[in-house]
């Protein structure tokens, strides 16, 4: 899976590091003082690295749990995100990660205990208030779970903390670590979904839509709460019709009582990140047309976005109540 | 295009022969050679000489899609003489910064730390290859490319069992390099395949030529025009867009191209 593992000095002797080194005995081990030496230098080509990414094992010092931007909430009193890993197994062409980081190597912060302590501190700092933690902002929460053991380490924390919720954001069908345990009421597995034409053209290396829907149903049947994330919506010829059919299909497949929340957002990106993505994939039609720059953000031209969001919101609201629907405006 | 840098002529000779290169000039100590698919600079020994040679080669031949390879000999405590390795990290006793080359493909050689020294040493260290050029080569090459497309391939010339002896056996060094040149060429070809290069289709190149002679573009507009042609080239390279030349001015021309792009993009996103 990896032919190189970069190991930061500070984590060389941690049990998780040793375990991962044992797991990939053929990988060359390369020592570094700080992960930034490998991950951050400017003269890197994300697209080239994505062909053969290495694993970087490092310590996350500080800023481990952060508040989300104001528009990214699910109705709790406080929303936070944390990233135990940067970069993703998949290669979705619309993903901001490819414009965010210099390197496509997988950066895994192995000091899980520090993350857990910081999550606990935030909960303690807001007694009696509902706190929601998002885990899949800079990586897919489940795609590399068999390597990272993330679920086994973090879920027990939430089963003991009824005022806190955790979202596992994913496109993965790697749900074994969830299915082997009893469902936890305040843990939501949120699947990113797009109709087949979009998934096949833009969600490279990700499981098929059918496989994702099957995984959703397995989890729902086992009693797990499900999030449905229609974000980003992609504009193309006949997009509205295709998305409406897709919404019908999803809601006719997924048991409604398992649905915790539904979010919706059209493709958008900060200009600087968009420009980098565009320069990495200059031949990609997604970045070429029907877009506008407004307030530092690139998004679809107003009429296109309004039509996409409007019609698809209406369709979704035919299946779920407004209290479970969170469109990102 | 591959850009080789070697310190010595005996390291360069098998490469020159393999790629059918001819001499093409010199600058100070640096000697340049070129073939159809590769160029080479013999830089002279040492990190600074290597950096100067690489910079000279890069400035002489502007080539955004080149693979830069430093090919040479090294000392290693335990690898066999004649074994090849590729640098997975590069450091110098004279600098704090370290380089970490990245690999878009799996490499056929083992990765090793390469430490660039100012003079030969037989004080070998476990898992570390000693050379005299890699650091200078790498710092200079990064002015022209990224860490995925600059690599140091080293052939072990001495080890603890057979430490370095002056003078160098030049013929043996050439033989060692020659042994690996085919696999180096294969590796280079595979890495270069990861670099996509696109030229305008004939019809778009003709449109560009006609538009540039018909309209007076401001610098920003010229940039926008090229960008829009690049997008059309990706979307529909063989379609004729000549009607856009009927636009009354550059602004209308750019708008007409963008309308075409919006329509084509919406049908090709998926």
Q: B64-102: per-residue pLDDT in tens?
A: 899 999 999 999 999 999 999 999 999 998 899 999 999
How many Cβ pairs within 8 Å bridge chains A and B?
110
Report the largest interatomic distance among the alpha carbons of chain B, rounded to a whole angstrom: 78
Range of the domain at B73: 2-193
Q: Are residues B116 and B208 in the same domain?
A: no
- Residue A172: what pLDDT? 97
Q: A120-138: per-residue pLDDT in tens?
A: 999 999 999 999 999 989 9
Residues A142 and A21: their CA atoms lie apart, in Å, by 20
Q: Which structure tokens are listed for A313?
A: 């919101």
Asked if residue B173 lies in contact with residue B13, where contact means CB atoms within 8 angstroms, the answer is no
Does any CB of chain B come closer than 8 Å to the CB of residue A211?
no
Closest alpha carbon within chain A to B257 = A289
Q: Which of B193, B217, B249 is the last residue of a domain?
A: B193
Contact assignment for A44 to B270 by CB distance below 8 Å: no
Q: Are residues B108 and B34 in the same domain?
A: yes
Q: Tell me: pLDDT of A329 over 70.
A: no
Count of domains forming chain B:
2
User: In chain B, which residues have their Cβ closer than 8 Å to the Cβ of A41?
Assistant: 100, 147
Tokens 């839509």 found at: A209
Q: A292-307: per-residue pLDDT in tens?
A: 999 999 999 999 999 9
Contact assignment for A44 to B146 by CB distance below 8 Å: yes
Give the count of beta carbons closer than 10 Å to the beta carbon of residue B163.
13
Q: Tell me: pLDDT of A199 over 80.
A: yes
Q: Which structure tokens are listed for B175?
A: 């033989």
Contact assignment for B102 to A103 by CB distance below 8 Å: yes
User: In chain A, which residues have their Cβ closer than 8 Å to the Cβ of B106?
Assistant: 3, 52
Q: Are residues B22 and B61 in the same domain?
A: yes
Give the pLDDT band of residue B200 (cuts 50, 70, 90).
Answer: confident
Q: Are residues B165 and B263 in the same domain?
A: no
Q: In terms of DSSP bridges, do strands B22-27 and B84-92 run parallel, antiparallel, or are they unpaired?
A: unpaired
User: In chain A, which residues have their Cβ closer than 8 Å to the Cβ of B229?
Assistant: none
Does any CB of chain A come closer than 8 Å to the CB of residue B18?
no
ipTM (interface predicted TM): 0.90
Q: Are residues B184 and B209 in the same domain?
A: no
Contact assignment for A237 to B145 by CB distance below 8 Å: no
Q: Are residues B54 and B168 in the same domain?
A: yes
Domain ranges across chain A: 60-90+110-327
Closest alpha carbon within chain B to A196 = B270
> What percent of chain A lies above the pLDDT cut of 70?
100
> What percent of chain A lies above the pLDDT cut of 90?
95
Q: Are residues B95 and B228 in the same domain?
A: no
- Residue B240: what pLDDT? 75
Q: A254-267: per-residue pLDDT in tens?
A: 999 999 999 999 99
User: In chain B, which residues have their Cβ closer than 8 Å to the Cβ of A204?
Assistant: none
- Residue A88: what pLDDT? 96
Q: What architecture is the A60-90+110-327 domain classified under in CATH?
A: Alpha-Beta Horseshoe (3.80)
Residues A139 and B18: their CA atoms lie apart, in Å, by 45
Q: Are residues B163 and B254 in the same domain?
A: no
Q: B207-225: per-residue pLDDT in tens?
A: 899 999 999 999 999 999 9
* DSSP string computed for A244-309: HHHHHHHHHHS-GGGEEEEEEEE-EEEHHHHHHHHHH-TT-GGGTSSEEEETTEEEE-HHHHHHHH
Q: Are residues B100 and B12 in the same domain?
A: yes
Handedness of CA B158, B160, B161, B165 (dihedral sign): positive
Q: Which of B193, B212, B246 is the last residue of a domain?
A: B193
Site from B64, B91, B102 to mutate, A interface, most A CB atoms within 10 angstroms: B102
* DSSP string computed for B108-134: SSEEEEEEE-SS------TTEEEESSH
Calculate how close chain B gets to A104, using CA atoms only, in Å: 10
Q: A126-179: per-residue pLDDT in tens?
A: 999 999 999 989 999 999 999 999 999 999 999 988 899 999 999 999 999 999
Kindly list the distances between the CA atom of residue B110 and the CA atoms of A311, B82, B152, in Å, as whole numbers in the listed order. Answer: 56, 13, 12
- For B7-38, give one letter per residue: b (16+ CB within 10 A) or e: bbebbbbbbbebbebeeeeeeeebbbbbbeeb
Calculate how close chain B gets to A203, using CA atoms only, in Å: 11
Angle between helices A239-253 and A209-221 (to 10 degrees): 30
CA angle at A153 for the pair A150 and A156, rounded to the nearest 5°? 125
Q: Are residues B137 and B26 in the same domain?
A: yes
Contact assignment for A282 to B106 by CB distance below 8 Å: no
Q: Are residues B8 and B118 in the same domain?
A: yes
Kindly report the CATH number assigned to the domain that includes residue B152. 3.40.50.1580
Q: Are residues B141 and B259 in the same domain?
A: no
Q: Tell me: pLDDT of B241 over 80.
A: no
Of A72 and B233, the structure prediction assigns the larger pLDDT to: B233
Q: Tell me: pLDDT of A70 over 90.
A: no
């Amino acid at each position: 899976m990896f032919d190189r593992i970069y190991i930061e000095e500070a984590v060389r002797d941690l049990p998780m590091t040793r375990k991962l080194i044992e797991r990939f005995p053929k990988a060359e081990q390369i020592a570094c003082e700080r992960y930034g030496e490998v991950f951050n230098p400017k003269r890197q080509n994300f697209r080239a690295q994505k062909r053969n990414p290495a694993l970087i094992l490092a310590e996350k010092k500080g800023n481990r749990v952060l508040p989300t931007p104001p528009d990214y909430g699910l109705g709790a009193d406080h929303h936070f995100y944390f990233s135990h890993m940067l970069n993703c197994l998949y290669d979705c062409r619309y993903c901001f990660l490819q414009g965010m980081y210099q390197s496509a190597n997988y950066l895994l912060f192995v000091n899980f205990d520090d993350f857990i302590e910081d999550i606990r501190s935030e909960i303690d700092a807001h007694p009696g208030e509902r706190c929601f933690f998002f885990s899949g902002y800079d990586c897919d929460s489940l795609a590399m779970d068999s390597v990272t053991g993330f679920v086994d380490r973090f879920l027990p924390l939430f089963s003991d903390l009824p005022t806190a919720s955790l979202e596992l954001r994913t496109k993965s069908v790697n749900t074994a670590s969830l299915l082997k345990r009893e469902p936890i009421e305040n843990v939501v597995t949120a699947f990113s979904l797009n109709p087949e034409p979009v998934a096949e053209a833009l969600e490279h290396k990700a499981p098929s839509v059918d496989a994702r829907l099957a995984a959703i149903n397995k989890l729902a049947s086992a009693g797990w709460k499900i999030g449905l994330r229609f974000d980003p919506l992609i504009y193309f010829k006949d997009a509205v019709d295709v998305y409406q059919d897709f919404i019908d299909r999803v809601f006719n497949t997924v048991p409604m009582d398992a649905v915790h929340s539904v979010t919706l957002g059209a493709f958008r990106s900060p200009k600087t990140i968009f420009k980098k993505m565009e320069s990495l994939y200059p031949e990609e039609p997604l970045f070429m047309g029907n877009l506008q720059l407004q307030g530092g953000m690139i998004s679809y031209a107003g009429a296109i976005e309004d039509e996409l969001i409007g019609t698809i919101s209406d369709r979704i609201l035919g299946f779920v109540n407004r209290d479970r629907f969170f469109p990102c405006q | 295009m591959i850009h080789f840098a070697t310190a010595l002529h005996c390291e360069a000779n098998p490469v020159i022969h393999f790629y059918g290169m001819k001499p093409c000039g010199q600058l100070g100590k640096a000697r340049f050679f070129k073939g159809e698919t590769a160029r080479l600079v013999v830089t002279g020994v040492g990190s600074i000489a290597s950096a100067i040679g690489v910079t000279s080669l890069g400035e002489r031949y502007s080539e955004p899609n080149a693979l830069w390879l430093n090919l040479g000999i090294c000392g290693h405590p335990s690898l066999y003489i004649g074994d090849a390795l590729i640098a997975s990290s590069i450091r110098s006793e004279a600098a704090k910064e370290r380089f970490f080359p990245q690999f878009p493909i799996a490499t056929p050689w083992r990765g090793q730390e390469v430490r660039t020294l100012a003079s030969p040493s037989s004080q070998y260290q476990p898992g570390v290859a000693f050379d005299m050029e890699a650091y200078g080569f790498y710092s200079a090459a990064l002015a022209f490319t990224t860490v995925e497309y600059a690599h140091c391939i080293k052939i072990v010339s001495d080890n603890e069992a057979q430490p370095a002896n002056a003078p160098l056996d030049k013929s043996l060094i050439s033989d060692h390099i020659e042994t690996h040149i085919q696999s180096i060429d294969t590796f280079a070809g595979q890495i270069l395949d990861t670099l996509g290069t696109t030229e305008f289709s004939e019809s778009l190149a003709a449109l560009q030529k006609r538009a540039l002679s018909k309209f007076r573009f401001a610098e920003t507009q010229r940039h926008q025009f090229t960008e829009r042609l690049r997008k059309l080239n990706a979307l529909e390279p063989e379609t004729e867009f000549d009607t856009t030349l009927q636009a009354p001015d550059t602004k209308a021309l750019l708008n007409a191209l963008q309308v075409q792009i919006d329509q084509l993009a919406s049908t090709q996103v998926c």
